[in-house]
Amino acid sequence: MCGIIGYLGKGCAQESLIDGLRRLEYRGYDSAGVAFHEGKSFSMARETGRVKNLATSVQKNSSSSSLGIAHTRWATHGAVTVSNTHPHVSNDGKFVMVHNGVIENFNTLKKFLIGKGFEFSSETDSEVLCNLIAYNYSELEPSEDRFIDAIRMALPQCRGAYGIAVLCLDFPDTMVGARRGSPLVVGLGEDANFIASDASAFVGRAKEAVFLNDGELAVLQGSEFRITTLEGHEAKAVSQPVDQISEEVELGDFGSYMEKEIYEQPSALKNTLRGRFGDDGTTAKLSGLEGHEEELRNLDRIIFVACGTARHACMVGEYLIERLARVPVEVEHASEFRYRNSPKAGKSLVIAVSQSGETLDTLEAVREAKTKGLLTLGITNVVGSSLARETDGGVYQRVGPEIGVASTKAFSSQACLCAMLGLALGRMRELSPMDGQAIVTALKDLPDLVSQVLQQGEQIRELAVKYSKADHLLFLGRQSLYPVALEGALKLKEISYAHAEGYPAAELKHGPIALISPECPSVFVVEGTELSAKTIANMQEVKARKGPVIAIAPQSVEIPEEAADDIFRLPDAHEVIRPILANLPLQLFAYHFALLRGLDVDKPRNLAKSVTVE
C-alpha cells in the first residue's frame, strides 16, 4: 500500500529511484512522484497513473542529483490527482517528504498549522506532516541536529501510522526515515544507501538490509547510517543479506505475474514442504514451533487472525486442524478480533497469517493478543516482515515474492502449512502414526498433483470463454471446500469486477437460490467424501431452475449428466490437500475470465498489495 524508495550515494539517484518504484508498483499504482535535492532547491516530477508515466516525464528533465526520494501511491486521503501525489513540499520549500500510512489526527494538525499561516495545496494527511516538520524546524535554533530534531518533535504529535523518508534543503547529504505501523527498511550498498518501504525496491543495488522497528528513526548521512529511537537513543541495527530477503521478481516468459505465480505453484510448494517432515515419516517438523511443544500439547483453543485470501486459507486450516488435532479452532477477521475483546478462554494460541507480514489489521490483532498474554505464531512469506518479528514463533511460506495483487501461490502455501500444523499438533495429541504417515505421503505428493491440474489449464480457459459474459456467479462448496468457494468468488470479483459470492453449498436454499437464472452460473467444488451426494443434490436444484452449473470434482465422484453443464476433473487425493487442488481451477478461471474482459490482472482497480492502513 504505497511504496517508498530513497537514494543517497555517490552516483546519480534517478535510475535507482525509478527502478525501485517499478519494483514497488504492485503496492499501489494510482500515481507516482520523485524529488531530487539539487543543492539550492528541489527538482520534482509527479504524474498520475503508472510509474511509466513518471519515468517518461523524468527522462525529459533528467537530474544528476545523488540524493532523492520517490513514491508510488495508493490513494487514501484525496483523489488521484497530481497535487495529491507524493513527494510533498513544505510551504517554506525546505522539506520534501514521502509517506505511507494514515495520520489519523491530520485535521487537528492542519487547523493548528493554518492558524500559524500555513497553506495547503493537497488534500493529503502527508502534506500536513511535512509542514509540521517544517514548523518544528522553524522553532529550533540552527544546529547540526536541527533536521533530525524537527522530525523527532513532529512525529509524537501524530496519531496513526507512518513510514516516511524526508529530505531537508539545508542538509544536502542527509536523508531521514522513520516508522510507526508502516514498514521501513534501510538498504546498504557499496556506492549508495537506501530507505525503502520494502527491500525488493533495492534488490541488486544494496547488499544488506536493516529493518526498522516501530518508533525508530534511520539517519543516512554521507556514507554513514545510524538507527535511533524517537527519543534519540541509539537502537540496535541488525542487518540481513538482501539476497536472502528478496529474490528476483522478473516476469520471464509469462504475460503477467498472476499467471507466473499460478504456474510456479509446484516449485513454490516444494519449497514450503522442503525439510519439514519428522525422521519417522509420521509428522511435520516446523522449526518455528520449537520450544513451544508443551504449550501446543496443552492448547484449549486456536484463534486464527488474517484478512482476505489469507483468512480463507485459515478457514481451510480450521477444518483440518479440528479434524486432525481435535483442538477447537476459530477464524477471525483480524480487524474484528482487534476490537472485539473476546473473552480469554483457557490456553489459547493466536496464529496470524499474512503473505506480506505487513497487513496492519493483522499486526494489530497480534499486538492485541500479546497484550492479553496469549502465545502468538505467525505464518508469513516475507522474511524479516513485521509479523515475523513481532510473533513468538512462526513459519515462513518460502514461495518467493508474490507480486500479482491477487494472491494465488500464497494461498496454496498457507493452506499447506495449516495442514502441516494440523499434522504436527495432531501427532502431539491424538493422531495415530498410520494416519500421520498417510498425511505425510499426501503432502509429499502435492507438488506433482498441482502440476497435473495446472496442465489442464486450457480446459479452464475454454470454460472462462463460455461463461465470461456472466456478471453474477455463485461459488459453492462444503466443509474445507467452503473456504475454497469463498476464495474462488473473491479471486473472480477482485480481478474481473464480476459480482461473485461464495456460500456453503447447503446455504443455497436459505436465500442465494433466489439469484439462480440462466444468466447466473454456479460453480460447485465437490468434496469427494460422503457429502458429495448432498452437493450433487444442490447442483440439481440449480439445474431445475435453469441455472448453468460448473462442477469441479475429483475423478472418482460420479456426477449424473443432468446435474452439471461442465465438469472439470481433479485427481483423487487425501482430504488434507483437496482444498489446495480444488482452488487451482478457480484461480485459472478468474485469471482467464479477467483477461477475456481485457483487464490488467496484476493491477486490478482500487486494490493494492499489502494493506498497511486500517
List the grid coordinates of 23: 519494483
Active site residue 609: yes
The yes or no reply on residue 611 touching ligand F6R (CB under 6 A) is yes
User: Is the Cα dihedral 337, 342, 344, 345 positive or negative?
Assistant: negative
Q: List all residues 6 or more positions away from 479 whose beta carbon is below 8 Å from its beta carbon.
A: 319, 527, 529, 531
Q: How far is the CB of 296 from ligand F6R (least distance, A)?
A: 23
Q: Note whether 261 binds ligand F6R by CB under 6 A.
A: no
Among 66, 407, 583, 612, binds ligand F6R (CB under 6 A): 407
How far is Cα 531 from Cα 519, in angstroms, rounded to an integer? 28
Indicate the DSSP class of residue 214: T
Cα separation of 438 and 240, whole Å? 38
* Window 299-328: residues binding ligand F6R (CB under 6 A): 307-310
Q: Which of residues 351-380 bind ligand F6R (CB under 6 A)?
A: 354-356, 359, 362
Whichever of 193 and 335 has its CB closer to ligand F6R, that residue is 335
Residue 113 or 310: the one with the smaller Cβ distance to ligand F6R is 310
Q: CB-side exposure of 509: number of CA atoms within 13 Å?
A: 9
Phi-psi region of 543 (alpha: psi -120 to 50; beta: other; left: phi over 0): alpha
Give the shortest CB-361-to-ligand F6R separation in angstroms.
Answer: 8
Whichever of 75 and 307 has its CB closer to ligand F6R, that residue is 307
Strands 348-354 and 375-380: parallel
Considering the complex, state which of residue 4 and residue 387 has its C-beta at the smaller distance from ligand F6R. Answer: 387
- Active-site residue (options: 2, 130, 168, 307): 2
- Determine whether 549 is exposed, middle or buried from the number of CB atoms within 10 Å of its CB (0-12, 13-18, 19+): buried
Question: Which single residue brings its beta carbon nearest to ligand F6R?
Answer: 308
For residue 422, give the amino acid letter: G
Nearer to ligand F6R, 47 or 602 (CB): 602
* Minimum distance of ligand F6R from residue 227's CB (angstroms): 25
Count of residues near ligand F6R by CB under 6 A: 15
Q: How far is the CB of 379 from ligand F6R (least distance, A)?
A: 9
CB of 610 to ligand F6R, least distance (A): 5
One-character DSSP codes across 326-377:
---EEEEEHHHHHHH-----SSEEEEEEESSS--HHHHHHHHHHHHTT-EEE
610 binds ligand F6R (CB under 6 A): yes
Between 197 and 356, CB nearer to ligand F6R: 356
Q: Which is nearer to ligand F6R, 494 or 527 (CB)?
A: 494
The phi and psi torsions of 278 (rounded to 5 degrees) equal: -70, 155
- In whole angstroms, how close is the CB of 113 to ligand F6R at the nearest point? 33
Contact 566, 551 (CB under 8 A): yes
Nearest to ligand F6R of 187, 308 (CB atom): 308
CB atoms within 10 A of CB 187: 29
Q: Are 66 and 9 in contact (CB under 8 A)?
A: yes
Cα separation, 254 vs 579, whole angstroms: 26
- CB under 6 A: which stretch of 281-289, 348-356, 437-445, 587-595 binds ligand F6R? 348-356
Choosing from 406, 492, 551, 594, the residue that interacts with ligand F6R (CB under 6 A) is 406
- What is the residue whose three cell numbers read 518455528? 288
Q: Report in angstroms how near the CB of residue 415 gets to ligand F6R at its nearest.
A: 12
> Which CB, 8 or 608, lies closer to ligand F6R?
608
Task: State whether residue 192 is helix, strand or coil.
Answer: strand
For residue 264, the minimal CB distance to ligand F6R (Å) is 16
Q: Is there binding between residue 258 and ligand F6R (CB under 6 A)?
A: no
Q: What sign does the dihedral 369-199-81-103 (CA atoms) show?
A: positive
Q: Which amino acid, residue 476?
A: L
Note whether 84 binds ligand F6R by CB under 6 A. no
**Measured on CA atoms in the order 466, 487, 415, 431, is the torsion positive or negative?**
negative
Q: Which is nearer to ligand F6R, 193 or 356 (CB)?
A: 356
Q: Which one from 260, 409, 543, 609 is the annotated catalytic residue?
A: 609
Amino acid letter, residue 237: A
Dist. CA 489–CA 256, nearest whole Å:
21
Question: Sheet of 239-241: strands edge to edge?
Answer: 42-48, 31-37, 67-73, 3-9, 192-196, 185-188, 208-211, 239-241
Residues in 479-508 at the binding interface with ligand F6R, rule: CB under 6 A: 490, 494
* Minimum CB distance to ligand F6R, residue 14 (Å): 31
Work out how close the CB of 413 gets to ligand F6R at its nearest, in angstroms, rounded to a whole number. Answer: 11
Beta bridge partners of 375: 349
* Residue 207 known to be catalytic: no
Residue with cell 508469513: 380
Closest-CA residue to 116 (of 94, 141, 140, 134): 134
Summarize as ranges the residues that interact with ligand F6R (CB under 6 A): 307-310, 354-356, 359, 362, 406-407, 490, 494, 610-611
Residues designated as active site:
2, 609
